[in-house]
């Protein structure tokens, strides 16, 4: 999956965010590899429609990795078999999500305190899949016992071909800084590629982390929302308002092309205001975006804003 690819800058999987339009946009800005939103293994096996919609892909975004989550080895294996039939480059197993509703099911980062169950899941997925497998992990469940190196070793032994590590514990959530020592310990514990995730807020920071750690790639999540140019080494990381609105217009164009003329309002609205984070007019723009009640209203507002910004 990754040994034959040049994948230093990677779009991380984010629920409700990394759908096909956003992945395509990030590819256009230079992302080497993109991960899908997390896919519920039980819902996929049950062929639930809302889950099947997450499988939407096309040739323009390849290579793409689709991410599965769950805590039942057999169900995860069945889901992997279904995903293997899709035109994708690989499957990722989510062992890093800190969301409470995921943790309560024993999935996501809850698996960081159960290395044996984690290994059973990875083994089942690798056996059922006909395409490469990666595993996304955290440092551990809490600071008292770091399990990332052990789970990475078990993952490699079970057949996984890459590891992505968000070097915070579940109890950390998204607070504090990532622990570079845990990333290095994880890299030393395996021979497969390791991607570092967390605390990367600019292209320059990503390059610096690659150089410092010598990891196979860096995975960027929240910092890419409203700023797909983070994947480009040639774009000003604090672009003009005109540049921001052009990026948003392209995002809307991709959404309308691939999701239909009326894409889901809440998801697009959540993306739209982020293009103006950190700007003086950002808060006012967000209020206007949040006040829209339909996608059509949002589209009209964005195009009106574009006319004003691009003619200024």
**Would you list the DSSP string of 32-101?**
SEEEEEEEEHHHHHTT-HHHHGGG---GGG-SEEEEEE-S-HHHHHHHHHHHHTSS-SEEEEEE----HH
Say whether both 31 and 180 belong to one domain.
yes
Say whether both 79 and 173 belong to one domain.
yes
Task: Count the helix, strand and coil residues of the chain and give each as a percent rounded to the nearest 5.
Answer: 50, 15, 35
120-133 burial code (b ≥16 CB/10 A, e <16): bbbbbbbebbebbb
Q: Which tens digit of pLDDT belongs to each residue from 99-147? A: 999 999 999 999 999 999 999 999 999 999 999 999 999 999 888 899 9
Average pLDDT, the chain: 94
Say whether both 57 and 138 belong to one domain.
yes
Closest CA to 249 of 168, 170, 309, 163: 309
pLDDT band of 174, cuts 50, 70, 90: confident
How far is the C-alpha of 105 from the C-alpha of 92, rounded, in Å?
A: 18
Say whether both 221 and 245 belong to one domain.
no
Number of domains in the chain: 2
Q: Which tens digit of pLDDT belongs to each residue from 68-78? A: 999 999 999 99
Q: Which domain does 245 fall in, by range?
A: 241-311
Is 3 inside a domain boundary?
no
Is 297 inside a domain boundary?
yes
Say whether both 83 and 119 belong to one domain.
yes
Say whether both 167 and 262 belong to one domain.
no
| Domain edge (last residue) among 173, 200, 231 | 231
| Domain edge (last residue) among 231, 251, 285 | 231
pLDDT(4) > 50: no
pLDDT(237) > 90: no
Say whether both 59 and 145 belong to one domain.
yes
Is 1 inside a domain boundary?
no
Active-site position among 17, 26, 34, 97: 97
pLDDT band of 182, cuts 50, 70, 90: very high
69, 92 Cβ separation under 8 angstroms: no
Of the chain, the percentage scoring pLDDT greater than 70 comes to 97
Task: Name the CA radius of gyration of the chain, rounded.
Answer: 19
Check if 97 is active-site: yes
- Beta-strand ranges (E) seen in the chain are 9-11, 33-40, 64-69, 90-95, 133-138, 162-166, 194-197, 217-220
Q: Which tens digit of pLDDT belongs to each residue from 9-64? A: 999 999 999 999 999 999 999 999 999 999 999 999 999 999 999 999 999 999 99
Is 202 inside a domain boundary?
yes
Contact partners, residue 85, CB within 8 Å, separation at least 6: none
CATH number at residue 258: 1.20.120
Say whether both 90 and 224 belong to one domain.
yes
How far are the Cα atoms of 112, 175, 176, 199 from residue 196, in angstroms, in the given order? 17, 16, 16, 10
Which two tokens mark 220? 């960027």
pTM of the model: 0.95
Q: Which tens digit of pLDDT belongs to each residue from 151-163? A: 999 999 999 999 9
Is 236 inside a domain boundary?
no
CATH number at residue 48: 3.20.20.70
pLDDT(269) > 80: yes
Is 2 inside a domain boundary?
no
**Would you state the pLDDT for residue 233?**
84
| Domain edge (last residue) among 231, 249, 283 | 231
133, 92 Cβ separation under 8 angstroms: yes
Say whether both 223 and 272 belong to one domain.
no
Is 4 inside a domain boundary?
no
Say whether both 191 and 305 belong to one domain.
no
Say whether both 118 and 34 belong to one domain.
yes
How far is the C-alpha of 116 from the C-alpha of 111, rounded, in Å?
A: 9
How far is the C-alpha of 235 from the C-alpha of 28, rounded, in Å?
A: 12
Say whether both 184 and 300 belong to one domain.
no
């Amino acid at each position: 999956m990754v040994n034959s690819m040049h994948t230093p800058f990677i779009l991380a999987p984010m629920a409700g965010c990394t759908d096909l339009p956003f992945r395509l946009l990030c590819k256009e800005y230079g992302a080497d590899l993109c991960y899908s939103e997390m896919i519920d293994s039980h819902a996929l096996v049950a062929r639930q429609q809302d889950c099947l919609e997450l499988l939407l892909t096309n040739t323009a975004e390849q290579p793409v990795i689709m991410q599965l989550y769950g805590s039942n080895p057999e169900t995860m294996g069945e889901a992997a078999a279904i995903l293997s039939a899709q035109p994708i480059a690989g499957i990722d197993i989510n062992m890093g999500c800190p969301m409470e509703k995921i943790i309560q099911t024993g999935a996501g980062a809850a698996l960081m305190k159960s290395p044996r169950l984690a290994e059973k899941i990875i083994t089942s997925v690798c056996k059922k899949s006909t395409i490469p497998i990666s595993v996304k992990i955290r440092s551990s469940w809490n600071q008292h016992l770091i399990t990332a190196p052990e789970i990475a070793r078990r993952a490699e032994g079970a057949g996984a071909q890459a590891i992505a590590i968000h070097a915070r514990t579940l109890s950390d959530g998204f607070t504090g800084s990532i622990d570079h020592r845990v990333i290095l310990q994880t890299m030393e514990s395996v021979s497969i590629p390791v991607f570092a995730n967390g605390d990367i807020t600019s292209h320059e920071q990503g390059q610096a982390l690659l150089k410092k750690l010598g990891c196979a790639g860096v995975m960027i999540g929240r910092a890419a929302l409203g700023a797909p140019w983070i994947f480009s080494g040639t774009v000003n990381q604090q672009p003009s308002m005109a540049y921001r609105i052009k990026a948003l217009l392209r995002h809307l164009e991709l959404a309308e092309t691939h999701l239909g003329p009326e894409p889901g309002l809440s998801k697009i609205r959540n993306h739209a205001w982020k293009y103006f984070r950190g700007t003086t007019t950002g808060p006012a723009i967000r209020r206007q975006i949040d006040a829209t009640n339909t996608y059509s209203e949002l589209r009209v507002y964005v195009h009106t804003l574009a006319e004003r910004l691009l003619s200024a």
